[in-house]
Amino acid sequence: MKQIAIIGRERNLALAELETVFGAVEPILDDVVAIKDENSTSIDRLGSVIKIGKIVATTQDMFKLESLITAELERQVLEDKKTSIDFGVSIYADKYNPKDYRRLVINIKKLLQKSKIKSRFVLPKSLQLNAAQVKHNKLLRKGSEIMVIISDRTITIAKTEQIQNIDSYSLRDFGRPNRNMQVGMFPPKLAQIMLNLAQAEESATIYDPFCGSGVVLQEAMLMGRVVWGSDIAEKMVRASVENIHWLQNEYRIDGEFKVFEADATKLDTTPDKKYSIVTEGYLGKMYSQTVTSDEIATQKSELSKIYLGFLDKIISLEQTPESVVITIPCWQTKSGLEALNIIDQIEKLGYTIKQFKSVRTLDLIYKREKQVVGRQILVLRPKNSIKKGK
């Protein structure tokens, strides 16, 4: 494994995304994963990753930490033909005494001094610098952030090479002319994860038949895709189109798109070449307080009809999608998380549900702690498209 990735709060989704993109992942800690990234994928295309670093050393000996970090910083100073460096150290560990942190960075500074290198360190609020601090202190371009990952088995030292572009995410999230102001808005990062899970061929079109204000369409366009979107509400069609124009202007991109009004359960038009469906379906009522199973019973039956109706329609069309990545709702009830439970019926319709090595398929859930309605993410493949060898 050559690189490590620091992942966000949604660990299961991150494992599924990284396994899909990189083939193999090795979880090290709750928020750290080792990856084999031969193509050096841009972090901007990954929804679940906060930082990516290149592994520069490993050791079993905690006492070697200072000298190994110093050696890496000295190497960088030499390479940059400089006499000084700004650095930061982030510690990822289940157990690490915060009191040791200050001593560590001061000792590194002293060791650098011995080699006639002036240095300044940036102190994190806890043990880790966040992406904003790394950016603000220019540690990627003019300095260095060293990440230390301490697991039961080994200590890994990595140099941060990419960080999440937080400004761009906020712009895409909050800067668009049409935002869905409802609780539990669909975040661009989740759209990216789902697009990656679809594993669509480069030339394939991405189609979102419940496109709403167009978050999936927007993220797919940024990935260079041709996109199609439709929605039952004419108002949402207009919102998506306006948002796409905004995106094209803001990000200086063009690209083909088609957005139209249609009921997803009665679709008769689909892209006529290879395509994948990536969509956040309709989640139903947005509850603000924990619900009982009885309260959601009617919702469940209504929503099941929409999803099964839609999936049934899609698989019966002449041109079926290569893959379908869809969110279905789940609810925080007084007795735990309750799912829509339509998996068996989905399989009966003729879909296979993708299994992952690093995470259980049914654990792909996106839900903030206080939210009542969460999203379960399903990665489906129509069986007939496997048979047809598409």
CB of 206 to ligand SAM, least distance (A): 13
Question: Among candidates 346, 341, 337, which has minimal Cα distance to 374?
Answer: 337
- Kindly tell me which of 41 and 327 has the beta carbon lying closer to ligand SAM: 327
Q: With respect to ligand SAM, which residue has the nearer C-beta, 6 or 328?
A: 328
Nearest distance, CB of residue 264 and ligand SAM, angstroms: 3
- 112 vs 236 by CB, closer to ligand SAM: 236
CB 307, min distance to ligand SAM, A = 10
The CA distance from 381 to 390, in Å, is 11
DSSP symbols for 122-139: PPPSSSS--HHHHHHTTT
Residue in the block written with tokens 């301490």: 150
Nearest alpha carbon to residue 284 among 338, 341, 329, 235 = 329
Its sign, for the CA torsion 31, 162, 194, 322, is negative
Nearest to 36 by CA among 12, 60, 52, 50: 52
Nearer to ligand SAM by C-beta: 104 or 267? 267
Strands 227-231 and 257-261: parallel
**Closest to 58 (Cα-Cα) out of 143, 140, 1, 122:** 1
Cβ 317 to ligand SAM shortest distance, Å: 15
User: Judged by CB, which is closer to ligand SAM: 91, or 328?
Assistant: 328
Residue 15 C-beta: closest distance to ligand SAM, Å? 23
Min CB(263)–ligand SAM separation in Å: 5
Pairing, β 25-29 against β 32-35: antiparallel
Nearest residue to ligand SAM, scored by beta-carbon proximity: 212
Of the pair 57, 195, the CB lying nearest ligand SAM is at 195
Report H helices in the chain.
Answer: 11-22, 65-79, 98-114, 131-136, 166-174, 188-198, 215-222, 234-250, 293-316, 343-349, 383-387
Give the residue with the Cβ less far from ligand SAM, 209 or 374. 209
| Chain residues in the site for ligand SAM (CB under 6 A) | 180, 186, 209-210, 212-216, 231-233, 236, 263-265, 280, 282-283, 306
CB of 259 to ligand SAM, least distance (A): 12
